[in-house]
Structure 1
Amino acid sequence: MSRPAGQCVVVASFNTRGVPVVGSNLTERYRAIAAAFESSDVDVVAFQEVFTYCHLRRLTAGMPSFRHLGYQPSPVGPAAGLATLSRLPITRCGYQRFPLPQPDPALPRLTRLKAALKGSLTTALARYRLRVINTHPVANEDGDWSESNRFHDLQQGQLTDLAQLVREDPVPTIVCGDFNVAHNSTLHCDFMAASGLVDAFAGRCPPTFHAAYLSPGRTPHCIDFILTTDSIEIESTATLFTDQEPLPSGPSHLSDHIGLRARVRLVG
């Protein structure tokens, strides 16, 4: 049975910066992240960079009301580091890996390796005619999203695959994650046109990467998004974890990213 039109769902997206495991206050950060969501009104959280089952257990242990878990198993943890936790029952969960990258000597070897492990996680809510796609395309290490940049074709191919995934099913859809492309880039604009999605923040989201983690001279951008099909109405939006949090070892950001939250209403 689908959820009656007019009812609301609260969705959040957060890149947890799961690596490096050593020296990143993983236990403290994940405990604080989990506690924040457990005490919130969020129904569904799309997490990125949950790379190991240890990471996943630390989140689920602190979020007992999020009893429903979506991820694609891999030998070490959730595939592509994607995990979606939900207070609402899940009817199905599927994972689609991005196409394998073409050989390109201009790209770092590690980037080519990571690109082969990236993809999108689709979670369908049981009592709602609604799916949530959690995604994390490969990063652009140059911070340059121009068409001449060495990362452009690789990122474009992954975003094209994501747009096709969105279009293949007419069900109301929320797409969220760390896209690793700036909101004002041609890559992002072309993806929005190809997918037909709408930005929950209407293009007004602030930078979602903390400037403190950038190299000197780099400018932070909005690279994380919550996007929806036009059958979903946006009631409100907010940013999460924008400031340092008090941890036992001292004040710290919970991630190099900020989180996003959107309250949406199903209108059809």
Structure 2
Amino acid sequence: MSSREQLTIATLNTRGTPLRGSQLADRYRAIGAYFDGSETAVVTFQEVHTYYHLRLLRTAMPSYAVSFQPSLAGPAGGVVTFVRRPAATRSYRRLPTGPGVPRWPRTKAHFKGVLLTRFDQVWIANTHLLANLDGDWSDASRFTPIHRAQLNALARVIASLEGPIVLCGDFNVARESTPYKEFLDRTGLVDAFGGECPPTFHAEYLGPGKSPHCIDFILTRGLEILTAEQILTDKLDLPQGPAYVSDHVGLCATTSAEGRQLE
């Protein structure tokens, strides 16, 4: 008999700005409380840079197990995936540094990668690409070559995986950019928001003349999208006053696989 099991997945870049006075511990407690009290089965986080960051989230999310690749300072690539029960498989792949950008951004590119977690027979891929410091996603942007190189490498990782996939994270490429469109064409992944996701970065954190874009995504293969929504869009009451829990907006999608028992 055909079964229809649902899987709810969320993603959030947790950094928050400015770095000074960012209320890190209070923000992470609020983030953890939000998800621990939800029905979300899988949460992918980005910019969890140290083991202190990780400990804050683990303490605030006791109903989850955590998947990450250890490194010297903290989770490799700053990417961490929380799941409602221990995952069967975990691996981490680094992304290339790519050409054409100044030394400092290129150095940071060494630390970018994708975390793969096998959960309920579904691959959960959690990634964070190099930040576009110029806010220019045109073909002429100096960041376009490195983003294309990283997305091409990410496409090869996706192609190597069999079965249903959910790819989440902060891509740092705009939805309307050429590298992003090429990536969708190459992988066949489907945007959970149907290409209509509003901006995922709070405008007040941008410089003068800059406009927010949709740069965070939930992409799927082999799964039906039932619902998709933005989450943690408003300021919360923190001890030092109302504040966003991150400079990014979170995304959440509920998926299903017909004729497949997710277990």
TM-score, normalization by structure 1: 0.93
**Structure 1 counterpart of 2:226:** 235
1:160-175 map, 5 Å: 160-175=152-167
For residue 266 of structure 1, what is the amino acid of its counterpart? A
Distance 1:237 1:121 in 2: 22
Distance 1:99 1:226 in 2: 22
Distance 1:211 1:20 in 2: 13
Distance 1:52 1:6 in 2: 38
**Structure 2 counterpart of 1:120:** 114
Contact 2:139 2:177 in 1 (8 A): no
- How far is 1:251 from its partner? 0.3
Task: Determine which of 71, 74, 96 is the counterpart of 1:74.
Answer: 71
- How far is 1:238 from its partner? 1.2
- How far is 1:57 from its partner? 0.3
**1:115-173 CA distance string (max 9 Å, x none):** 01100000001xx2211000001011111112221111001000001111111122100
Contact 2:16 2:248 in 1 (8 A): no
TM-score, normalization by structure 2: 0.95
Matched, 1:48 2:46: yes
For residue 13 of structure 1, what is the amino acid of its counterpart? T
- How far is 1:23 from its partner? 2.2
Matched, 1:260 2:246: no
Q: CA RMSD in A?
A: 1.4
Task: Extract unaligned runs of 5+ from structure 1.
Answer: none
Matched, 1:206 2:198: yes
For residue 255 of structure 2, what is the amino acid of its counterpart? V
- How far is 1:88 from its partner? 3.0
1:78-227 map, 5 Å: 78-102=75-99, 104=100, 107-125=101-119, 128-227=120-219
Contact 1:182 1:222 in 2 (8 A): yes
Residue identity over aligned pairs, in percent, reads 47
* Higher deviation after alignment, 135-144 or 207-216: 135-144
Distance 1:100 1:85 in 2: 27
For residue 226 of structure 2, what is the amino acid of its counterpart? E
For residue 93 of structure 2, what is the amino acid of its counterpart? Q
Contact 1:5 1:265 in 2 (8 A): no
- How far is 1:91 from its partner? 0.5
Contact 1:177 1:224 in 2 (8 A): yes
- How far is 1:5 from its partner? 4.7
- How far is 1:22 from its partner? 4.6
